[in-house]
Structure 1
Amino acid sequence: MANSIASHKDSVAGSIESTSLAKISLQDALNVLEDAFERNADDDAARLRDEIMQSLDRSARPQLLRLLYKRGIDCLKEGRTAVADGLLTWLRQCDPVSLKANLAEAAVVQVLEGAEAATDLFREFVRRRPMHRIQAATEPGLMRAGTLMCVGDVDLNFSLGGFTLPGGHSESQHLFAGAEEGNVFVFCDGLTGYELGGFDVLFNAISDPDVFGPTLDVLAETSETIVNHPKQCLQNTRNWLSETFSGETEFVVPKTVRVAAKRRRADVLADHNLKFPLLLRPVGSQTGDGLVKYDTAAEFTQSDFILEESYLTEFYDFGSEDSFYRKFRCWWIGGTVVPNHLFVHTHWKVHSAASRLETMDGRPALQAEEKEFLADAKSPRRKKINRMMHAIAEANGLDYFGVDFSFLPTGQIVVFEANATMRSHYPEYSDTFPYLSKPATVHVAAFQKMLRAKAGK
């Protein structure tokens, strides 16, 4: 390793044949290779790649792949597209079937040809090779677990080092954190029939039938051991929940109807006898996207048509005497009720960022209220919550799901939704709300315990 990178670059500029890469570090060798890509010196780059591979100890190959990915993505961020293309193309040549290498190729395509072309390329890859080991087991003989997912309209977010799955999924990756068992991603896009054998248990992260109904239909026929079996997920729509608990007295699930696109709004009101205020949300939407509240029929019918397939839900005013709106979340995890959070906001549309940053940050009393909710195990209110959670679990047949709810002035629980298409993990708030780390740890432990129980381990 005695030669300096500067002298080696000089050699490349003159006669590349006269220089030996055996005497410099892998990092420096890649610096030289980047220089060749920068100069569009294809012959020099090809010769350098050959020399690196010949001089590289076999045990150093994983390090090479990691460096190629990191440096290639860094070059993309810096706008050095030619260098990134060279590094990441070589990565895929070295490791043609890996998820990371093909993500790298899609990263280059996204810069050169646009997001649509990159997404199409990545979709085609996972159709050809749907299974990818993401986390290896720490020793042989441990539980073999896999996670079912769909690429769909994936967000190829390379600044975060990979991709973000579209809405309609359960969070999954952090649930395996610290587990001794491995985890295999199983992409289920475009399946017409698929054997899922070889696993002790599968976690179905494809949770929204409004987004991934056709895929869930295919998977529903499998006899494999699955947490959140696709057959159960298929029925779990917003209107199904409302219809199932329409006669419930201890808690209320607001009346919800599903409305086809291009229906006249006046006809919808005539058909369904809905009470105002009403909430309208597009089918398949999450996190309040597209959610609109109408206080009167006159306001609702100012437009003639509902433009896209939507849910209409009767709105219950859950505001408290102190003018705050509170939204609680609990998870059902293999028979255990695990509190997740309490969001408090000044507006009825309660979501994490606005609640945390605009309302709860700097208000110790509200944070103390959330801590009390998270720690409560035996109060009459907690017992009421537990009964509600058990009733919903018995009806929907899911192993793992969250419920968003609040309390009406009468003390009755009002349920907003119950499904697995919810967040359970909020690392972005760990500094401001450090007490959230404990419920997150409890959640992951309960999930892993549920997986092992489902697998019979």
Structure 2
Amino acid sequence: MPSPIQIERTRVAYLFGGDAQSGLVRRSGEDVLNLGSTDIWRLRSDPENFVRLHIPGNFHRVRVRPRLDNIATILNLVTDPELNPKVLEAADRFLRGFPGRIINAPAAVLASGRDRVSRLLVGIEGLIVPPVARFKGRSHLAQAAIERAGVTFPAILRLPGTHNGEVVALLSGPEELEARLDPAKTYLLTSFVDARGGEPLYNKLRLYWFGDAPLMRHRLVSDRWNVHGPDRERFMPSQPHWIEVERDLLARGLDGLPEPARSAMRAIRARMPLDYFGIDFALLPDGRALLFEANATMNFFPLSTNPLFDYTAAPIEAAARPLFDRLIAADGR
């Protein structure tokens, strides 16, 4: 009796999709960007060489399932558990028994919401982790969740699944919170910690982990508490000192952080179940880190085209590509 034909697994598949999508699963195509995903795939040396693995929101109704016969590695680009829980759960079921590698397994992504990560990372030496409460928009539910999580005011109110610095408000107390609540919505409330320590400016850093390889992406400063990407062009051109501080840090990488923050970043890597993810944090005056968030829904692009910040563009992309290629090619974390 002839032995069954063994198909060599050599291809990389990009897993993408969204709960809001419906339709057939298509085998080819170039668009791999959906709400609640990341553009990290563009770091591959050959970003167009991929197999499309599309999981729509109605995947349970799709009769013809994608074939994975020649797939060696699946790169999961569905990264937000708040926006795409149905797709992540469907992908987790579909991929059970898959013999190849899955980078950022759907089950691991499902466990990476803000409140769950806050509980996961609390207690790391050198890291301040503000508590996060999750609740439906009713006063008694909010109060119970706030007391249970230990959230204090002032506090940042967000909707789950929001990014790019998008917040509902920075609230001074429970009365302001109650005025903002909508019973039809779910909220996240995070204790606000002022990282300035008497200094005039706020700061935000981003570190990526590609497997066990770290990469510093930026160190922004701003006169506003909600530090975000646009502050680079709006505020930093007038800050030559902080431009040089950022330039030096990006050149030195993780070793350029103070020891408490550096150790905390490595401890986060050890605890997080994700294969690739980013960490947004601030540096405190005593060298510790203040966590903002840690998840895989952090875009790497766009890069600055301002000549003042040329050190954040081509050199950082050139440093990231081999790290990402190695993650895709590796036999394990």
TM band (smaller chain): 0.7 to 0.9
Question: Structure 1: 5+ residue runs without aligned partners?
Answer: 1-140, 155-161
Q: Secondary structure at 2:59's aligned position in 1?
A: coil
Q: Deviation per CA, 1:322-377: give whole Å up to 9, x if none.
A: 41111000000110111111111110111101x11111124322211111111125
Residue 37 (structure 2) aligned to one of 156, 160, 169: 169
Answer yes or no: is the 8 Å Cα contact 1:263–1:305 preserved in 2.
Answer: no
Q: Please provide the CA RMSD for this pair.
A: 2.8
Answer yes or no: is the 8 Å Cα contact 1:143–1:182 preserved in 2.
Answer: no
- From the superposition, tell whether residues 310 and 412 of structure 1 become closer, same or farther in structure 2 (CA, over 3 Å): same
- How many positions carry a matched residue from both structures? 307
Q: Quick check: 1:447 aligned with 2:296? A: no
Answer yes or no: is the 8 Å Cα contact 2:121–2:271 preserved in 1.
Answer: no
Q: Quick check: 1:214 aligned with 2:81? A: no
Residue 419 of structure 1 is matched in structure 2 by 295
Alpha-carbon distance between aligned partners in 1 of 2:326 and 2:181, rounded to the nearest angstrom: 52
Q: Deviation per CA, 1:2-59: give whole Å up to 9, x if none.
A: xxxxxxxxxxxxxxxxxxxxxxxxxxxxxxxxxxxxxxxxxxxxxxxxxxxxxxxxxx
Q: What TM-score comes out, normalization by structure 1 length?
A: 0.61
Higher strand share: 2
What one-letter code is carried by the residue in structure 2 that aligns with 1:149? F
Q: Quick check: 1:315 aligned with 2:192? A: yes
Q: CA deviation at 1:197?
A: 3.5
Q: What TM-score comes out, normalization by structure 2 length?
A: 0.82
Identity of aligned residues (%): 24
Answer yes or no: is the 8 Å Cα contact 2:9–2:71 preserved in 1.
Answer: no
Answer yes or no: is the 8 Å Cα contact 1:405–1:416 preserved in 2.
Answer: yes
Q: Quick check: 1:147 aligned with 2:11? A: no
Q: CA deviation at 1:390?
A: 2.6
Alpha-carbon distance between aligned partners in 2 of 1:310 and 1:374, rounded to the nearest angstrom: 35
Answer yes or no: is the 8 Å Cα contact 1:345–1:360 preserved in 2.
Answer: yes
- From the superposition, tell whether residues 269 and 443 of structure 1 become closer, same or farther in structure 2 (CA, over 3 Å): same
Q: Quick check: 1:298 aligned with 2:166? A: no
User: Larger Cα Rg: Structure 1 or Structure 2?
Assistant: 1
Give 1:168-317 correspondences, 5 Å limit.
Answer: 168-176=36-44, 178-179=45-46, 182-189=49-56, 190-192=58-60, 195-221=67-93, 222=95, 223=98, 224-264=100-140, 265-266=142-143, 268-269=145-146, 272-303=149-180, 305=182, 307-317=184-194
Question: Structure 2: 5+ residue runs without aligned partners?
Answer: 1-7, 22-29
Residue 24 of structure 2 is matched in structure 1 by none
Higher helix share: 1
* Larger relative contact order, structure 1 or 2 (CA cutoff 8 Å, min sep 6): 2
Alpha-carbon distance between aligned partners in 2 of 1:392 and 1:241, rounded to the nearest angstrom: 10
Q: Secondary structure at 1:242's aligned position in 2?
A: helix
Q: Quick check: 1:356 aligned with 2:232? A: yes
Answer yes or no: is the 8 Å Cα contact 2:43–2:317 preserved in 1.
Answer: no
Q: CA deviation at 1:306?
A: 5.4
Q: Secondary structure at 2:71's aligned position in 1?
A: coil
Answer yes or no: is the 8 Å Cα contact 2:18–2:87 preserved in 1.
Answer: no
Residue 221 (structure 2) aligned to one of 329, 340, 344: 344
Answer yes or no: is the 8 Å Cα contact 1:169–1:206 preserved in 2.
Answer: yes
